């Protein structure tokens, strides 16, 4: 049986002390050792074994080349097979983002396995970028001496760690500034950088460009914004007055009662002006898209755009901002920008909101198949307790996991979705699969239908941060590499 192909390079260089034949009459001991220790390929080539086999192969396979900067990418037009053969490596990432040679004992926090994209630090959602080490008054610790106490040595380690994190974040922000300062930013470079999280003060313009709403060419932006904002308000003047007509009163009534339920714990969304803006956005979209129409859950999709775009006019936490201090023009521009970006998003999720919602039905089916391949025991446990995937994952697909995690985490997740090809429609499936299997140990310990459903409807994510989302999307990326055809195409899906 042939030797199992491996992703890692093997060196043929002879080292001192290696076994060599003295003359032709003596047996080739080195060849015999290799032959005796050679691993045979497991029988069978089923897709169900690939995930486990991949884990076993790469548990301790970390990079330690100190002279090479690596970036991982997958050519989406090619069939990946096992997820290893089509892995491309490009020497383009900053030197400080390499994986260091200290994998023994524990894995890096944001890189659980080799195939994970390298992780960049991201700034806090609503806070300005962190200061550099010099501006923060942090100096490098002095060299340790034999007389130094354990406490001083630990303090020195912490200071070095803080400086390292700040330097990485500063470089991440500087890269965004370098891209955005161009007269016509390269969208591909912007996507690659945004995949790892976008700094909060750059996020409005980045989202608008990646959504296809704002042109990258600087000379066209002002004219485009004026035209599109004016067009939205003409729609409002023309269509919003029909909300009380007999043919549209039920549509408006559904939107009107859903708005107060939209993230009720966040003070911003309880403000009257914000709720009126959401009513106009959703009604105009539903009026202009009769083939889909308004579906409960679309109201949640408005909130990330509105918070991000409003953030460029507000200091501090947007969720608790007093918008009464903002001008009518600022609120009007935020509303119009939110409408157009929401429309761009929903154009890619059209099948999720047509009659019978076939897009969601198909994604739930794909999720079941994917989880079965990843963790058959978990899938069998759910089936044994009569837990249907549709019962808990329907809203994962309908609301893009927005009700399963804090809004700050949704915004970070959307950075990656906007950077992925078909991020909201296809990559979201892999994220949901990893999100479910993340709780596999707990779910398997629950004894019955009621306990499982109660847990799945109130998952412990309230304290999640950007780091948790970075780990989730990195693992989802690995899964996409292993099962590139897990998403079933629906007729008309883009």
Per-residue pLDDT, averaged over 89-99, amounts to 38
The chain-wide mean pLDDT, for the chain, equals: 77
Mean local confidence (pLDDT), 467-477: 97
How far apart (Å, rounded) are the C-alpha atoms in residues 228 and 251?
25
Q: Where are the alpha helices (DSSP H) in 59-211?
A: 150-180, 187-194, 203-210
Would you state the pLDDT for residue 492? 41
pLDDT confidence of residue 164: 55
Fill in the DSSP letter of residue 39: P
pLDDT at 148 over 80: no
pLDDT, greater one: 58 or 135: 58
Question: Which ranges of 375-426 would DSSP assign to H, the alpha helix?
Answer: 376-384, 389-398, 407-419
The whole-angstrom separation of Cα 19 and Cα 438 is 47
Say yes or no to pLDDT of 340 above 80.
yes
What's residue 47's pLDDT?
Answer: 53
Rounded average pLDDT over 363-383: 96
Name the pLDDT band for 30 (thresholds 50, 70, 90). Answer: very low
Look at residue 74 and give its three-state secondary structure.
strand
Summarised one tens digit per residue, pLDDT across range 395-423 is 999 999 999 999 999 999 999 999 999 99
User: Averaged over 267-296, what is the pLDDT?
Assistant: 94
Task: Please give the residue that has the higher pLDDT: either 37 or 214.
Answer: 214
**pLDDT tens column, 52-63:** 565 555 544 444
Residue 114 has pLDDT above 60, yes or no: no
pTM for the full model? 0.69
Predicted pLDDT at 161: 53
Q: What is the mean pLDDT of residues 421-426?
A: 93
CA distances from 445 to 117, 437, 440, 449 (A): 32, 13, 9, 12
Q: Which of 78-87, 319-328, 337-346 has the lowest mean pLDDT?
A: 78-87
Distance CA 35, CA 416 (A): 46
Three-state secondary-structure class, residue 89:
strand
Q: Measured between alpha carbons, how far is residue 167 from residues 95, 120, 133, 142, 469 in Å?
A: 12, 11, 7, 19, 21
123 pLDDT band (50/70/90 cuts)?
A: very low
Q: What is the mean pLDDT of residues 65-83?
A: 39
Structure tokens at 476: 């989802």
- Residue 311's alpha-carbon distances to 22, 115, 174, 202, in angstroms, are 75, 34, 20, 10
> Residue 486 — pLDDT band, cuts 50, 70, 90?
confident
- The pLDDT score that the predictor gives to residue 129 is 37
Report in angstroms the alpha-carbon separations of 186 from 192, 216, 218, 222, 241: 10, 8, 12, 19, 41
**pLDDT exceeds 60 at position 433:** yes
Structure confidence at residue 220 (pLDDT): 96
Higher per-residue pLDDT: 19 or 388:
388
- pLDDT at residue 167, rounded to an integer: 80
CA distance 494 to 489: 9
Mean pLDDT of 193-211: 96
Is the pLDDT at 254 greater than 70? The verdict is yes
Helix (H) or strand (E) holding 308, with range, is helix 298-310
Q: Determine which helix (DSSP H) or strand (DSSP E) holds 71, and give its type and residue range.
A: strand 71-74
Using alpha carbons only, give the angle 248, 396, 55 rounded to the nearest 5 degrees: 160
Confidence of residue 31 (pLDDT cuts 50, 70, 90): very low
Q: How far apart are CA 494 and CA 480, in angstroms?
A: 18
Contacts of residue 351, defined as CB under 8 A and 6 or more positions apart, other chains included, come to 357, 358, 359, 362, 490, 492, 493
Over 70: is that where the pLDDT of 40 sits?
A: no
pLDDT at 112 over 50: no
Distance (Å, whole) CA 415 – CA 337: 17
Please tell me the predicted confidence (pLDDT) of residue 291: 86
pLDDT confidence tier of residue 119, bands split at 50, 70 and 90: very low
- pLDDT at site 105: 42
What per-residue confidence (pLDDT) applies to 55? 55
- pLDDT score for 49: 58
Q: Residue 446: CA atoms inside 13 Å, Cβ hemisphere, count?
A: 21
Question: Helix/strand/coil (H, E, C) string of 108-146?
Answer: CCCCCCCCCCCCCCCCCCCCCCCCCCCCCCCCCCCCCCC
Q: Give the count of beta carbons closer than 10 Å to the beta carbon of residue 132.
A: 13
Tens digit of each residue's pLDDT (9 = 90 or more) over 162-183: 555 568 888 889 999 999 999 9
In this model, does residue 474 exceed pLDDT 50? yes
Q: State the DSSP H helix or E strand holding residue 236, giving kind and residue range, or none if neither.
A: helix 218-239
Q: Which long-range contacts (CB under 8 A, 24 or more apart) does 344-350 make?
A: 344/211, 344/212, 344/213, 345/211, 345/301, 345/424, 346/285, 346/289, 346/292, 346/298, 346/301, 347/494, 348/422, 348/424, 348/425, 348/494, 349/424, 349/425, 350/291, 350/292, 350/492, 350/493, 350/494
**Nearest residue to 262 via CA among 302, 206, 222, 228:** 302
Q: What is the pLDDT of residue 103?
A: 39
Residue identified by tokens 């965004």 is 176
Q: What whole-number percentage of the chain has pLDDT above 70?
A: 65
Phi, psi of 140 (to 5 degrees): -65, 140
* Residue 467 near residue 109, CB atoms below 8 Å: yes
Residue 374 CB contacts under 8 Å (≥ 6 apart), including other chains? 51, 433, 437, 479
For residue 20 the two structure tokens come to: 């060599």
Q: What is the dihedral of CA 381, 386, 388, 392, to 10 degrees?
A: -80
Distance CA 460, CA 439 (A): 10
| Displacement of CA 24 from its chain's centroid (Å) | 60
């Amino acid at each position: 049986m042939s030797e199992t192909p491996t992703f890692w390079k093997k060196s043929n260089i002879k080292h001192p002390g290696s076994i060599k034949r003295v003359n032709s009459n003596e047996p080739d001991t080195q060849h015999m050792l290799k032959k005796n220790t050679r691993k045979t390929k497991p029988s069978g080539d089923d897709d169900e074994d690939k995930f486990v086999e991949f884990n076993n192969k790469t548990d301790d396979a970390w990079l330690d080349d100190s002279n090479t900067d690596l970036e991982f990418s997958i050519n989406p037009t090619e069939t990946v097979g096992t997820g290893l053969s089509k892995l491309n490596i490009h020497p383009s990432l900053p030197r400080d983002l390499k994986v260091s040679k200290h994998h023994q004992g524990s894995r890096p926090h944001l890189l659980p396995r080799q195939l994970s994209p390298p992780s960049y630090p991201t700034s806090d959602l609503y806070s300005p970028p962190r200061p550099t080490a010099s501006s923060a008054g942090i100096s490098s610790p002095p060299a340790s001496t034999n007389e130094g106490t354990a406490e001083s040595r630990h303090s020195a380690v912490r200071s070095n760690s803080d400086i390292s994190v700040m330097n990485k974040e500063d470089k991440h922000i500087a890269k965004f500034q370098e891209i955005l300062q161009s007269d016509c930013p390269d969208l591909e470079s912007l996507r690659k950088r945004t995949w790892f999280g976008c700094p909060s003060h750059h996020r409005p313009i980045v989202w608008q460009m990646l959504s296809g709403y704002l042109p990258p060419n600087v000379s066209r932006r002002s004219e485009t914004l004026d035209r599109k904002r004016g067009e939205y308000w003409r729609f409002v003047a023309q269509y919003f007055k029909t909300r009380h007509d007999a043919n549209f009163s039920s549509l408006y009534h559904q939107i009107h009662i859903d708005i107060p339920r939209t993230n009720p714990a966040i003070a911003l969304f309880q403000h009257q002006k914000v709720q009126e803006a959401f009513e106009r956005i959703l009604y105009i979209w539903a009026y202009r898209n009769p083939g889909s129409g308004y579906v409960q859950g679309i109201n949640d999709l408005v909130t990330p755009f509105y918070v991000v775009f409003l953030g460029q006019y507000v200091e501090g936490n947007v969720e608790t901002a007093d918008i009464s201090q903002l001008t009518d023009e600022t609120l009007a521009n935020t509303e119009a920008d939110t409408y157009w970006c929401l429309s761009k998003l929903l154009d890619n999720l059209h099948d999720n909101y047509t009659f019978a919602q076939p897009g969601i039905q198909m994604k739930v089916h794909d999720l079941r198949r994917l989880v079965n391949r990843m963790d058959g025991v978990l899938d069998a446990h759910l089936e044994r307790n009569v837990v249907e995937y549709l019962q808990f994952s329907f809203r994962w697909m309908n609301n893009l996991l927005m009700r399963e995690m804090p809004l700050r985490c949704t915004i970070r997740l959307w950075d990656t979705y906007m950077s992925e090809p078909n991020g909201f429609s296809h990559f979201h499936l892999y994220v949901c699969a990893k999100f479910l299997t993340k709780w596999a140990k707990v779910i398997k310990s629950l004894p019955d239908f009621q306990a499982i459903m109660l847990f799945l409807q109130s998952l412990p994510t309230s304290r999640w941060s950007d780091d948790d989302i970075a780990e989730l999307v990195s693992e989802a990326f690995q899964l996409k590499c292993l099962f590139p055809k897990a998403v079933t195409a629906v007729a008309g899906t883009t």
